[in-house]
Chains A and B, each alone.
Chain A
Amino acid sequence: MASAPITSLSARPETPFARRPLHVTQDSIWVKWILVAGALLFLGVFLLLPLAAVFTEALRRGAAAYFASFTDPDAIAAIKLTVTAAGLAVPANLVFGIAAAWAVTKFTFPGKSVLITLIDLPFAVSPVIAGLIFVLVFGAQGWYGRYLEAGSPWLPWLQHWLIAQDFKIIFAVPGIVLATMFITVPFVARELIALMQSQEHDEEMAAVTLGAGGWQIFRRVTLPNIKWALFYGVILCNARAMGEFGAVSVVSGHIRGETNTLPLHVEILYNEYNFVAAFAVASLLAILAMVTLALKSIVEWRHAVSRCVGAS
């Protein structure tokens, strides 16, 4: 495709052979180091400095103040809620990811490419909108709120039970879990689909002919082939689930000790000018991010899992 530009160069006077550089496809050492320095400067300012700032600010008043931030009951409640939300959302999306990848890569059916696009849809939606839509469905003004108010509802026993339990979704834990689930839907699925699309079905077919059942095939043949991609998807999904801010912020209601996740707790502390505590809690999330990156790199170096772009 580059033929046009090159032909225009053929009219150039010939360079004497002896004066040709030996390494025509390599840049000079000066160019190399200037480019490397430029790239490292950019990454240093935009990646390393923010990371270093988190820990410096967190330790500004010393280690005692740093660790005191984690004994606060609200911080402990926030840690518990974050673990709960991720603990529910990640397994749900793990099961979804496996089912979606199995359906999409082992079979052909009409509308398959549309389905693959739909799986990625949550990446295109602003986190704030992800929160908003659950408020519209489950909020006091939404479908769920209207159902609870309805005079002659569908399934009256359910309405009674929900009212008796005072079962809230928005400004409560279920809403936080739902918003987290929405945001993290694509993570496991896209890793598995990318990998399984490149794999042949021979081994599974052999298992079928040998009389293996569906579950047996998956557990003994497919799973060993995809376990690293699965692990990779799960750690990315978990990092996002624990760190999600915008979507959770909309549905949480910010009730201290009840509906605050770790990122929301960081925001509250920061807005109260309690900077040391805010950065101390933030440093927990930064450590989680670094552990995630370390695990991810180890899997990549060892198993050359395909890298996915857009996983954010």
Chain B
Amino acid sequence: MALLRHKRHALPGLNLSLGFTLSYLGLVVLVPLAAAFLKAAEMTWPEFVSAVSSPRVLASYRITFFASLAAALFNAAAGLLVAWVLVRYSFPGRKVVDALVDLPFALPTAVAGIALTALYSKNGWVGQFIDPNGAHRMIPMGLKLVFSGTGVFIALTFIGLPFVIRTVQPVIAELKPELEEAAATLGASRWQTISRVLFPEIFPALLTGFALAFARALGEYGSVVFISGNMPMKTEITPLLIITKLEQYDYHGATAIAVVMLIASFALLLLINLLQKWSRRYQRI
């Protein structure tokens, strides 16, 4: 161990690279983030509490939380299916489909927002069949897709789509065929093999992907604002409320809500790190 440490330090550049890394991270990330906490600390406790728990703010937490949760759950199920199909089956165009999965990472959120709104509004390719005022309505009462909670769900599903697929895909690819063969030799049916042998292997990665998609959805802004209609108490998400407060020059109100969101995201980040450690340990056994 002593030898190893000695060897590593034989390489030059520790002071320069670490010094630059810490200064850059400090100036660009940590000091500005600290500003949010310092600004919030200027408020008294009752001021802070009333700023983060007024009915309009609570309603925004509710819509943000439940729409993100629903989108992440939907993505967990659909993502598991897509990952399985991409790894296990060969079909024409598989490589292109695989590359396309990352589109939500690469497509600017504002572009996604206006495209989804165009698709799901009453004249859109999908909306005309589903919207209550759609020209070719196919379901009895119709379902309002844009300017509703469903719209928020659609946008959050889009931006969270790659997370589950990309975390689960490598785990499925690494599943050894021996596992399935052993289960089959022991008399398990295909379904039993999948549900009792393969699924427990995949589960930690699935949970990690779900948490990543959920965390991303909580903070999302660009794709949601176009499709949600931004109605206070109904479809107003928390990030939008922060912008609204800023535009009214209510810096303290905006910062207080931001601090609540930051604490929630940091807690989630910590949880995701633990999950990833767990899933890695699980794989090694």
* A259 CA to B99 CA, complexed, in Å: 33
* A135 CA to B159 CA, complexed, in Å: 26
Q: Of B44-52, B54-62, B83-91, B134-142, which stretch is located at the interface?
A: B83-91
Contact yes or no, B183 A118, CB < 8 A: no
Given contacts A201-B11, A205-B7, A214-B12, contact A245 B115 (CB under 8 A): no
Given the complex, which residues of B lie within 8 Å of A264, measured CB to CB? 110
Closest residue of A by beta carbon distance from B31? A137
Given the complex, which residues of B lie within 8 Å of A246, measured CB to CB? 109, 221-222, 239
How many residues does chain A have at the interface if contact means C-beta atoms less than 8 Å apart?
114
> For chain B, which range describes its interface: under 10, 10 to 19, 20 to 34, or 35 or more residues?
35 or more
Closest residue of A by beta carbon distance from B108? A243
* A250 CA to B36 CA, complexed, in Å: 15
Given the complex, which residues of A lie within 8 Å of B31, measured CB to CB? 137
Closest residue of B by beta carbon distance from A89? B28
Given contacts A36-B85, A213-B12, A296-B99, contact A54 B111 (CB under 8 A): yes
Contact yes or no, A204 B188, CB < 8 A: no
Give the residue of A39, A134, A307 whose beta carbon is less than 8 angstroms from that of B166: A307
Q: Of A67-75, A122-130, A148-156, A223-231, which stretch is located at the interface?
A: A122-130
B229 at interface by CB-CB < 8 Å:
no
Closest residue of A by beta carbon distance from B93? A40
Most chain B CB inside 10 Å of its own CB: which residue of A9, A143, A218: A9
Given contacts A6-B186, A310-B212, contact A204 B179 (CB under 8 A): no
Contact yes or no, B99 A239, CB < 8 A: no
* A183 CA to B105 CA, complexed, in Å: 13
Which residues of chain B in 155-179 are interfacial with respect to chain A, using CB atoms and an 8 Å cutoff? 157-159, 161-163, 166-167, 170, 177, 179
Given the complex, which residues of B lie within 8 Å of A185, measured CB to CB? 25, 28-29
Which residues of chain B in 22-53 are interfacial with respect to chain A, using CB atoms and an 8 Å cutoff? 22, 24-25, 28-33, 35-36, 39
Given the complex, which residues of A lie within 8 Å of B124, measured CB to CB? 53
A85 at interface by CB-CB < 8 Å:
no
* A117 CA to B107 CA, complexed, in Å: 26
| B265 → A minimal CB distance (Å) | 4
B216 at interface by CB-CB < 8 Å:
yes
Contact yes or no, A249 B243, CB < 8 A: yes
B233 at interface by CB-CB < 8 Å:
no
Give the residue of B16, B106, B197 whose beta carbon is less than 8 angstroms from that of A6: B197
Given the complex, which residues of A lie within 8 Å of B186, measured CB to CB? 6, 9-10
Which residues of chain B in 89-103 are interfacial with respect to chain A, using CB atoms and an 8 Å cutoff? 89, 91, 95, 97-103
Closest residue of A by beta carbon distance from B209? A309
Chain A binding surface, main DSSP class: helix
Contact yes or no, B82 A43, CB < 8 A: yes
A87 at interface by CB-CB < 8 Å:
no
Give the residue of A51, A100, A143, A249 whose beta carbon is less than 8 angstroms from that of B115: A51
Give the residue of A35, A139, A270, A278 whose beta carbon is less than 8 angstroms from that of B84: A35
Given contacts A53-B119, A129-B242, A245-B221, contact A42 B81 (CB under 8 A): yes
* A54 CA to B157 CA, complexed, in Å: 18
Contact yes or no, B177 A25, CB < 8 A: yes
Which residues of chain A in 175-215 are interfacial with respect to chain B, using CB atoms and an 8 Å cutoff? 178, 181-182, 185, 201, 204-205, 208, 213-214
A164 at interface by CB-CB < 8 Å:
no
Given the complex, which residues of A lie within 8 Å of B143, measured CB to CB? none
Closest residue of B by beta carbon distance from A263? B110
B268 at interface by CB-CB < 8 Å:
yes
Given contacts A35-B84, A99-B21, contact A126 B239 (CB under 8 A): yes
Given the complex, which residues of A lie within 8 Å of B69, measured CB to CB? none
B118 at interface by CB-CB < 8 Å:
yes
Give the residue of B196, B239, B261 whose beta carbon is less than 8 angstroms from that of A5: B196
* A99 CA to B23 CA, complexed, in Å: 11
| A129 → B minimal CB distance (Å) | 5
Contact yes or no, A133 B107, CB < 8 A: no
| B159 → A minimal CB distance (Å) | 7
Give the residue of B20, B163, B187 whose beta carbon is less than 8 angstroms from that of A10: B187
Contact yes or no, B35 A118, CB < 8 A: no
* A262 CA to B33 CA, complexed, in Å: 26
| A60 → B minimal CB distance (Å) | 10
8 tightest CB-CB pairs across the interface, nearest first? A126-B219, A243-B108, A24-B184, A214-B12, A245-B222, A246-B221, A289-B106, A5-B196
- Extra contacts, 16 of them, besides A128-B239, A142-B35 (Cβ < 8 A), are A1-B282, A1-B285, A9-B187, A42-B81, A54-B115, A99-B21, A104-B21, A106-B14, A118-B30, A125-B33, A132-B242, A208-B10, A217-B12, A290-B106, A293-B100, A294-B99
